[in-house]
Amino acid sequence: MEIENYFIGKEKKEIFITVTVSTHGVAVTEVKLIINGSIFNKGASTNGAGLISKTSLGFASQLDGGTIKIETDIVLTKIPKSAWASCFENLQIHYYLEGGESDQKNPFELLPAEKKKSSSGETIIATKRINLLNR
């Protein structure tokens, strides 16, 4: 799985993340910052839609070399089984990062290799990793 990069810049700016999920299932999203061998919980959705409102990851000077891991679990129990495959294929998750260098990719999108489904197809797990780097 390829990890994408977000360039945070060298200024002491605050870096933010927002996550949006387009699904008919019930979604739960967690954001974790991995830096210097430690894991910090930075946010979790509470609304069943997997949404993470604009949340601070910290200041650029503290984030260089870190990785954010965003995991979204989607349960399709309330969806007709005949629609599960379509829910998997059409799943869209957007990851908006703010505060870093301008003129870079935004939003990041969930790539096909970053999602998998349970053997029954009832649960989808999407995992996105983004490196936070200075140039």
Check residue 105 and give its pLDDT.
Answer: 87
Q: What is the pTM of this model?
A: 0.94
**Contact call for residues 89 and 41 (beta carbons, < 8 A):** no
Q: What is the mean pLDDT of residues 110-128?
A: 97
pLDDT in tens, 25-56: 999 999 999 999 999 999 999 989 999 999 99
Between CA 130 and CA 135, with CA 134 as vertex, the angle to 5 degrees is 110
pLDDT in tens, 6-24: 999 888 899 999 999 999 8
The total number of structural domains that make up the chain:
1
Instruction: Kindly provide the b/e burial profile for residues 56-71, where b requires at least 16 CB atoms within 10 angstroms of the residue's own CB.
Output: ebbebeebeebbbbbb
Q: What single-letter amino acid sits at 48?
A: G
Domain of residue 63: give its range.
4-133
